[in-house]
Amino acid sequence: MKEKYKPLFEPFTFKSGVTIDNRIVMAPMTTNSAFENGMVTTDEHNYYKRRTKGLGAVITSCAQVREDGKFAGSLSAASDMHIESLAKLADTIKSTGTKAILQIFHVGRMGSARTLRGLQPVSASAIAAMRENAEIPRALADEEIHDIIEAFGQATRRAILAGFDGVEIHGANTYLIQQFFSPHSNQRDDHWGGTLEKRMNFPLAVVDSVKAAIKKHADRPFILGYRISPEEIEEPGITLDDTLALLRELKEKELDYIHISTGHYLQSSIRNSEDQTPVLKAIVETVGADTPIIGVGQIITPDDAISAIEELNLPLLAIGRELIVEPDWIIKVKTGKESTIRTEIHLEDRADLAFPDAMWEYIQTRPGWLPIVK
Half-sphere exposure of 59 (CA within 13 A, CB side): 29
Q: 261 and 296 in contact (C-beta within 8 Å)?
A: yes
* Residue 114 vs residues 25, 110, 130: alpha-carbon distances, Å: 34, 12, 19
Q: Which of 47, 48, 175, 265 is catalytic?
A: 175
Minimum separation from the CB atom of position 142 to ligand FMN (A): 27
Q: In this structure, how many other beta carbons lie within 10 angstroms of the beta carbon of residue 3? A: 6
Minimum CB distance to ligand FMN, residue 28 (Å): 4
Rounded distance between C-alpha atoms, residue 305 and residue 253, angstroms: 28
Is residue 125 part of the contact set for ligand FMN (CB under 6 A)?
A: no
**Are residues 279 and 265 in contact, defined by beta-carbon separation less than 8 angstroms?**
no
118 or 368, CB closer to ligand FMN?
368
CB of 323 to ligand FMN, least distance (A): 8
The burial of 53, by beta-carbon neighbours within 10 Å (0-12 exposed, 13-18 middle, 19 or more buried), is given as middle
Smallest gap from residue 8 Cβ to ligand FMN (A): 15
- Beta-bridge partner residues of 101: 59, 166
Q: How far is CA 196 from CA 170, 186, 199, 237, 262, in A?
A: 20, 10, 5, 11, 22
* Closer CB to ligand FMN, 139 or 256, in the complex: 256
Q: Which of residues 284-313 bind ligand FMN (CB under 6 A)?
A: 296-299
CA angle 169, 49, 308 (to 5 degrees): 55
Does 61 interact with ligand FMN (rule: CB under 6 A)? yes
- 8 lies in the binding site for ligand FMN (CB under 6 A): no
Q: Which residues from 231-260 bind ligand FMN, rule CB under 6 A?
A: none
- If one asks whether residue 70 binds ligand FMN (CB under 6 A), the answer comes out as no
Contact with ligand FMN (CB under 6 A) among 261, 268, 286, 291:
261
Number of residues located near ligand FMN, criterion CB under 6 A: 21
Least CB distance from residue 195 to ligand FMN, whole Å? 27
Q: Which residues pair with 103 in a beta bridge?
A: 62, 168
Under rule CB under 6 A, residue 330 binds ligand FMN:
no
Nearer to ligand FMN, 203 or 297 (CB): 297
**Interface with ligand FMN (CB under 6 A):** 27-30, 61-62, 103, 170, 172-173, 227, 261, 296-299, 319-322, 369
Catalytic residues: 175
